[in-house]
Chains A and B, each alone.
Chain A
Amino acid sequence: MLNVGRIKEGFVLDHIKAGQCLSLYHMLKLDQRNCTVAMILNVVSKKMGKKDILKVECGVDELNFDVLAFIDHKITVNVIKGEEIIDKMPLELPGEISGIIYCRNPRCITSIEQGLPHIFILADMDEQVYRCKYCEEKHEHR
């Protein structure tokens, strides 16, 4: 694997779909933090053809895995401690996500109620369907 500086403690997110790395960076709100991040784009992969890799130097409890799993639960999460991979974390689709995606249904109460968090509930595990908690509109994005 291509080596762009080792990290002491944090995560190496592998098997990210090529092209998704930057949006992942934003959705994980890494742009609002001070940690060291390395993005490796368009890496040749036997499994995927091309893939992205994201390395993040941070504490083990500092990443939002629900967000990560929601975006793509096939991403491999390698946990790094003392510059070594000490664990691989399986990602499970979160049952509920709050404040990550927004309901676009203009008839939904979220369109007018102030301070109401946009919450989506996993409605169908097999089809990975999320529905707005309030109006049950399907999230169309994936």
Chain B
Amino acid sequence: MRHLMSPLDFSVDELNDLFDLAGDIEYDTAKYADACSGKILATCFYEPSTRTRLSFESAMQRLGGGVLGFADAGSSSAAKGESVADTIRMISCYADICAMRHHKEGAPLVAASNSSIPVINAGDGGHQHPTQTLTDLLTIRSLTGRLQNFTIGLCGDLKFGRTVHSLIYALMRYPGVDFIFISPEELRVPDYIAEGLRKSNIRYEEVIRLDEVMGRLDLLYMTRVQKERFFNEEDYVRLKDFYILDREKMEAAKDEVLILHPLPRVNEIAPEIDNDPRAAYFRQVKYGVYVRMALILSLLEIKV
């Protein structure tokens, strides 16, 4: 029995198989409509994340399976002080697979160690959020046809952004991926990640302004820059426009560039570019469902 704790749990080959399956699901969704009939997914969300939970529930229901669970810690037995280990032992009796989100880092691993059903980490604090990374990879692969030989810009809060860190680690395993990190000085990629890139001889650059590099990007991954991350108001006001993607910046971009964002966005992408064919962040949501469908099938070892 396998679990998914980190995006690196699967080898590159295994990921390829998973993405092939997701591709087939996209191509012929109807074929999979009863694949999980009689199976139940438990969504154990100790902290609310409606978006991720709905994506999992949609995936299971599109596979013909059932869903049960809780949407925040207050409505679960955790509020009465039950341990994660005990909760998963109980959930193992109710369901066939579990997606767990927890504010404490490593909680899904504790669950996996005590579980008799596969556990998927649906986000644990600032630590990992592997299904987001799988979504990002599948979106890139599906829309560009490849997971190698491109220049990707990662823009915004690169210091605290968990999705950004996971994506960098995941992309490091593919050849010919160049990184351009676009962030204010205070929110640069952590040293240990830059160090890892240097050790693996992977090319990366760090710049302050998005408009400086826009024309060189094949992919642009946008994240939110939160005001409270800045040391002072002045810096925020001075810098914030560098990290807002609008029509003017898009003019300098390549015709085939893809704009990605883990969502929800606030103001870092101007709504005026939503209808630009290069804006892929809403299609990304769809790939999030396909990749979760493929993941559920693969962890349950169901072949269609």
Contacts and interface: CB of A to CB of B under 8 A. Distances in A.
B249 interface: no
Interface in A89-142: 105, 107-116, 132-137
Interface string B135-178: 00000000000000000000000000000000000000000000
Chain A interface, >50% SS class: loop
Nearest to A134: B106
Contacts of B110: 109, 113, 116, 134
B104 A111 contact: yes
B109 A134 contact: yes
A107 B83 CA distance: 16
Contacts of A110: 106
Contacts of B104: 107-109, 111-113
A107 B85 contact: no
Interface string B92-131: 0000000000111111011000000000000011110000
A135 to B, nearest CB: 4
B185 to A, nearest CB: 24
Contacts of B102: 109
B84 interface: yes
A105 B105 contact: yes
A107 B125 contact: yes
A114 B102 CA distance: 16
B8 to A, nearest CB: 12
Contacts of A135: 105-106, 125, 127
A107 B126 CA distance: 8
Given A107-B104, A107-B125, A112-B104, A133 B109 contact: yes
Nearest to A112: B104
Interface residues of B, number: 15
Nearest to B85: A113
A107 B85 CA distance: 17
A37 B290 CA distance: 64
Interface string B78-90: 0000011100000
A114 B106 contact: no
B30 to A, nearest CB: 40
A109 B85 contact: no
Interface in A52-108: 105, 107-108
A58 B173 CA distance: 50
A14 B163 CA distance: 48
Contact of B105 (A107, A114, A115, A116): A107
A116 B106 CA distance: 11
A34 B121 CA distance: 46
Nearest to A135: B105
A114 B127 contact: no
Nearest to B86: A114
Given A107-B125, A107-B126, A133 B83 contact: no
A53 B13 CA distance: 52
A80 B17 CA distance: 57
Contacts of A116: 83, 85, 110
Nearest to A114: B83
B105 A108 contact: yes
A109 B126 contact: no
A115 B109 contact: no
B152 to A, nearest CB: 24
A136 B169 CA distance: 15
Contacts of B103: 107
User: Which of B103, B104, B106 has most A Cβ within 10 Å?
Assistant: B106
A124 to B, nearest CB: 10
Given A109-B84, A109-B107, A111-B104, 14 more contacts: A107-B103, A107-B125, A108-B104, A108-B106, A109-B106, A109-B110, A109-B124, A113-B84, A114-B83, A115-B83, A134-B105, A134-B106, A134-B107, A136-B105
21 contacts: A107-B103, A107-B104, A107-B105, A107-B125, A107-B127, A108-B106, A109-B102, A109-B106, A109-B107, A109-B124, A112-B104, A113-B83, A114-B83, A115-B85, A116-B83, A116-B110, A134-B106, A134-B107, A134-B109, A134-B110, A135-B106
